[in-house]
Amino acid sequence: MRLSTKGRYAVTAMLDLTLNGNDGPVTLAEISETQGISLSYLEQLFAALRSKQLVKGVRGPGGGYYLGRSADEISIADIICAVDEWVEFTRCGGNRDCHDGKRCLTHNLWDDLSNEIFSFLQSITLAELVERGGLKEHGCRKEQEKDPLMPRADTEAA
């Protein structure tokens, strides 16, 4: 799993599409204006999204984009995987010798974790995000009153 700003742009744009796609298609120019993303960069992102059938484009005046399928059938993982190239991390293809299995043990652990992150993001749909106005009640993590917000920007690596 790879989670970069590129993926964020894509998720944000798709979120915009979900929110504003009720009355006709949404133009990239609108998304560019509203979300502060350059038009051509959006075009690149939407080329990837389109190739995965996550969006459908309508040409000509009055055209634009709408979701390729229902918002409850598009997961965050779908979006991120579409724009962020999947990079295989473990270079030991399956069950090689791999330094007496020691290296592969660590790799398997990482793979399990990576799968977990992936299926977590796969379990969140655009519809869920929009309907609930957030994810406060998502999954099994509802009794979490500590509310651990993002760490502040005081993370200066000396």
Partner DNA sequence: ATAATTACCTAGTTGTTTACTTGGTTATAA
Partner DNA sequence: TTATAACCAAGTAAACAACTAGGTAATTAT
Residues in the site for its own copies, rule: CB under 8 A? 1-5, 8, 11-12, 15-16, 19, 33-36, 47-48, 51, 76, 81-83, 85-89, 91, 99, 102-103, 105-124, 129-130, 133-136, 138-141, 144, 148-151, 153, 155, 157-158
38 binds DNA (CB under 7 A): yes
Instruction: Name the minimum Å distance from CB 15 to DNA.
Output: 16
Query: What does 43 interact with, of its own copies, DNA, none (CB < 5 to 8 A by kind)?
Result: DNA
From CA 20, how far away is CA 130, in angstroms rounded? 11
50 binds DNA (CB under 7 A): yes
Of 122, 134, 27, residue with least CA distance to 81: 122
From CA 36, how far away is CA 46, in angstroms rounded? 15
77-106 positions binding DNA, by CB under 7 A: 84-85, 87
Question: Token pair for residue 156?
Answer: 């200066």
> CA dist 91 to 81, 119, 153, Å?
20, 22, 34
> CA dist 137 to 105, 124, 131, 141, Å?
35, 12, 11, 7
Q: Which residues would be at the binding site for DNA (CB under 7 A)?
A: 4-6, 9, 25-29, 37-41, 43-44, 46-47, 50, 57-65, 84-85, 87
